[in-house]
Structure 1
Amino acid sequence: MTALTDKVIVVTGCTQGFGRVLVGLVAARGARLVISGPWPDEAEEQAADLRARGVDAVATGCDVTVADQVESLADLAVATYGRIDIWVNNAAASTPVGRAFDLDPGEFRRAIEVNALGTFHGTRAAVTRMLDTGGVVVNILGRGDNAGPTPYTTAYGATKAWVAGFTSSVRKEYADSGVQLVGFNPGMMLTDKLTGARAVGEAGERMMKPFAKVQAVFADPPEVAAERLVAVLEKDRPPAKVNLLGPVGASRHAVRYAARAVRGVKAR
């Protein structure tokens, strides 16, 4: 038995990367899962794999930019398990690295729709179904959530600033409802989205040159952030915001990288 045993957990965009790792961890702690992603076959395959290991899991395709699909995802959870205890708005989209006006407008729009509108749809679906039972909604933050400039990742940074402000506002609006909202910044993670990043335009190409070094210093496997989020979800009163790569986290990463470099020199 763990704090997550029999908890009903919905995760959007969880068939790959961080979301997939998170699902595996909460499943190992006895949670009941509602798997979703934009590709129904992929979501069902993941759920079938979990069921083969004894996990209680169902799946459905869900494009978070479409309100009706998100509502259907929430309806599936309630119809199957009777309630939703935890909802994680993990679905996200990024753009190539480059100046804002070098980006394809369609890619820019997609990032805004998935990250901002998708978070709105998911939060609305979860909160309105948790009012009688209580629950936790986690909105995934990222670079830019402090509303500072994020040059060369403009769309992503702007949407994460929006998600942070939106989460704080809804938290206050529903402060006495029993629904808790958490903003979780997992930091830089070594997923395909990061390692497969590409650039557009000359400015974007220049920005990509030190990218390997930045990854080496600051990026962690997704298991690091997923374990931390699980620990947050196991609390009776989770914190309002968690940032794994704030000033303190960044300093720790830099010190760790320097220590590894020193050990490497000594080893030679």
Structure 2
Amino acid sequence: MDLSTVFSLQDKVALITGASKGIGYGIAEIFAAAGAKVIISSRKQEALDEKAEQLKRKGYEVTGIACNVGNMDELPPLVEKSVAKYGQIDILVNNAASNPVFGPVHETSLEAFDKIMDVNVKAPFELTRLCFPHLRKSASASVINISSIGGLSPETGLGIYSVSKAALISLTKVYAKEWGDAKIRVNAICPGLIQTKFSEALWTNDKIMGMIMKQLAIKRAGTADEIGAMALFLASQASSYTTGAILTADGGFTI
């Protein structure tokens, strides 16, 4: 077996949402290093252009396409522009997420509920569906949903966010089961505490960090690169017999 090709994404095109920072950017950099042509997407084109330029300076093929995934009308143009640029989509990473509230679930407004569900569940459902005609043409299509350990067991202060991530896990399994015949693999990653801007409310709170550390086998926060490496496994032929899997990267929090 030639291990240099097992994890290669050469000649593959990957579309990654929420990719101008944090976990999404970490995944984008690793995919590009593995040989993929990468489309990074988030809401602001200026931020995407800056990040794409950083990766291009390393010799990678990266394009930024702005899209607010919470607006369903912006999803078809994202797919159309991606295909117009590279002619195909082989890998889709649904990473973009929203959590505008932190606190008791009964204090979550209906407006916040709708925003969380639109970005965290409805957008992955619709974007994955829109990519189907292109994914089915690929010799090794892979969809990777970034869920959360909150989707396995609700996290304190993150009630509806946890609900949305549980729904994303179920959606992952539904697509995996239905799209096996189309040779499209669909899997999910459930990160634990990853030190990014998105989770700043947690890792900057000494009380919360103290409680988390007591439950971790590996007593530190994770990094975006560590999620990116797991995503590479799921995107590559290394996981060619893996679909419907829900993988944790949480330092042992859910043991």
Amino acid at match of 1:211: I
- Let me know the Cα RMSD of the aligned residues: 2.5
Picking from 50, 54, 62, the partner of 1:49 is 54
Picking from 85, 92, 105, the partner of 2:90 is 85
What are the residue-to-residue correspondences of 1:122-137 with 2, within 5 Å?
A: 122-134=127-139, 135-137=141-143
Amino acid at match of 2:67: C
Report the Cα distance in structure 1 between the residues aligned to 2:229 and 2:211, rounded to whole angstroms.
23
Cα deviation per residue 1:212-256 (whole Å; 9 max; x = unaligned)?
21454463122222212212322233343242257x93377xxxx
Picking from 242, 248, 251, the partner of 1:244 is 248
Partner of 2:198: 193
Report the Cα distance in structure 2 between the residues aligned to 1:209 and 1:22, rounded to whole angstroms.
28
> Which one has a bigger Cα radius of gyration?
1
Instruction: Tell me if structure 2 keeps the 8 A contact 1:8–1:33.
Output: yes
Partner of 1:221: 223
SS at match of 1:185: strand
Q: Can you give the 5+ residue segments of structure 2 that lack an aligned partner in the other structure? A: 214-218
What are the residue-to-residue correspondences of 1:87-166 with 2, within 5 Å?
A: 87-134=92-139, 135-146=141-152, 148-166=153-171
Picking from 28, 35, 40, the partner of 1:35 is 40
Instruction: Tell me if structure 1 keeps the 8 A contact 2:136–2:182.
Output: yes
Q: Report the more deviating stretch, 4-13 or 229-238.
A: 229-238
Amino acid at match of 1:237: Y
Q: Can you give the 5+ residue segments of structure 1 that lack an aligned partner in the other structure? A: 199-207, 253-268
Cα deviation per residue 1:110-150 (whole Å; 9 max; x = unaligned)?
2111101111122112223222335111111113323x444
Deviation at 1:151? 4.5
Partner of 2:216: none
Relative contact order (alpha carbons < 8 A, sep ≥ 6): 1 or 2 greater?
Answer: 2
Partner of 1:233: 235
Instruction: Tell me if structure 2 keeps the 8 A contact 1:138–1:184.
Output: yes
Partner of 1:18: 23
Q: Percent identity?
A: 24
Report the Cα distance in structure 2 between the residues aligned to 1:189 and 1:149, rounded to whole angstroms.
17
TM-score of the aligned structures, taking structure 1 as reference length: 0.81
Instruction: Tell me if structure 2 keeps the 8 A contact 1:142–1:187.
Output: yes
Instruction: Tell me if structure 2 keeps the 8 A contact 1:96–1:197.
Output: no
SS at match of 1:244: strand
Deviation at 1:34? 0.7
Aligned residue pairs total 242
Instruction: Tell me if structure 2 keeps the 8 A contact 1:95–1:156.
Output: no
